[in-house]
Amino acid sequence: MKAEISSEIQLAHLLHNMGIPAEAVLVLLDGNLVPETAIAKKGQEAEILFYKHVPPLLSPQEPSGHWKNAKPSVHCTHKSQSPSKTGGKKGASPACPSVPVIYLPYAKEHLCKKHFCGLFEKRVKRTIRNYSMLNAGEKVGIALSGGKDSFALLHALNAVRKSLPFELTALTIDEGIPGYRDAAIENASRRCRELDIEQHVFSFKEEYGTTISEIGKKGKENLCSYCGVLRRKILNIKARELGIGKIATGHNLDDVAQTAFLNLIRNEPLRFARFNEPISSSDKFVQRIRPLREIREKEVAAYALLNGHSYNSGCCCPNARNALRWSVRHSLNSLEDSYPGTKSKVASSFNSLQKIVRDSLRGKSGELLFCKECGEPSSTELCMACRMLGGL
């Protein structure tokens, strides 16, 4: 969405006048990513980039308290810690003179590309360390769809490898969604070539004899459920065959907060309990890790854009709008827009409750079985993927 500025206005006010939560978009002025605190001048062109699904537009409104008080900054406000000239102690160096590209409301900080990307990668490293996700020398597979999340994860993990050497392989699944997946796969493959990362591409058509589009034509609803279950099965099997020890996925802070809400809405304690790790273990399960789980989706989108990700091919699957997650996502974005830090608090509560629920279900989750049709781990005699395929 593009808009020509008719009179000087702060971008945050422009967005709220249009009924768009700032949390749901990135904004470019004359082609450059800028913070929502920036002042747009008359005659400039603002591009409002919906990095995910276009949200339900709200009624025009006054910006909330924190946006009213958010002042623009022409310089990056990052202050690095550097040794003092006296005594060698660390002290804050002067703020960076570079132009900011993003504003972090919860920290009240404007950051330039260099310091934002550096902070992003530092937080990925911290998450990997805090959750004991990776060890030096491991073979890691990244679930690379070509979307912004996996694109950002690919870049961040490639950067992390400089200080924590490990083998990185990309696994891409073609679900068969015309006009959406083809372009994303091409973007993913091109970036893997540029970064010299091995990539393996698998398809629903080759593995299952059908595609998501064909399943939809048979009248099946909630295609996101079919897509998720069938994609996860291929990832697990192919990673195991390739000798991959862990699969890294692009789930971000928003995904964690949304999952918390969805599990409460649907009353699914087992899903709640096994989010961080499976309740039952098996050599056939390849461990999943989520290095972006503590970073807002908006920041993931900005990091991807700054590292060359293109949103021209479309930002979201055409089937996802029908999912309950779509409504939960936009409710959380509105809350975060008014009360910065909401998503982090929801995710933190989720982690605390997850431990409680997990302990309460210990020994009650049932025996781990193996699907009589395909031999993969399952909680029932027939795994969900085989049940779905059998019902087509």
Q: What are phi and psi of 212, to 5 degrees?
A: -60, -40
Domain match, 214 and 339 both: yes
Q: Which of 139-153, 237-251, 352-366 has the lowest mean pLDDT?
A: 352-366
Domain match, 172 and 272 both: yes
Domain match, 38 and 145 both: no
Domain match, 346 and 236 both: yes
What amino acid is encoded at 34 in this protein?
V
Of the chain, the percentage scoring pLDDT greater than 90 comes to 60
Is the CA virtual torsion 279, 143, 34, 16 positive or negative?
negative
- Domain-located, residue 375: no
CB atoms within 10 A of CB 240: 17
Domain match, 107 and 117 both: no
Instruction: For residue 149, give its domain range.
Output: 113-357
- Domain-located, residue 381: no
Domain match, 74 and 142 both: no
- Domain-located, residue 370: no
Domain match, 101 and 167 both: no
Domain match, 59 and 120 both: no
> Per-residue pLDDT tens for 110-164?
999 999 999 999 999 999 999 999 999 999 999 999 899 999 999 999 999 999 9
270-279 contact pairs (CB < 8 A, 24+):
270/361, 270/365, 272/353, 272/354, 272/357, 273/354, 273/357, 273/358, 273/361, 273/365, 274/358, 275/350, 275/354, 276/131, 276/351, 276/354, 279/358, 279/361, 279/362, 279/365
d(CA 286, CA 58): 42
Of the chain, the percentage scoring pLDDT greater than 70 comes to 89
CA 385 vs. chain centroid, Å, equals: 24
Domain match, 61 and 118 both: no
**What's the total number of domains in the chain?**
2
Residue-level pLDDT at 231: 96
- Domain-located, residue 377: no
- Domain-located, residue 72: yes
We report the CATH number of the domain holding residue 188 as 3.40.50.620
Domain match, 99 and 248 both: no
Find the mean pLDDT for residues 15-30.
90
pLDDT above 60 (res 212): yes
Q: What are phi and psi of 300, to 5 degrees?
A: -65, -45
d(CA 61, CA 96): 34
> Per-residue pLDDT tens for 260-290?
898 888 887 777 777 777 667 788 999 999 9
- Domain-located, residue 256: yes
- Domain-located, residue 365: no
pLDDT above 70 (res 18): yes
Domain match, 174 and 284 both: yes
- Domain-located, residue 391: no
Domain match, 179 and 155 both: yes
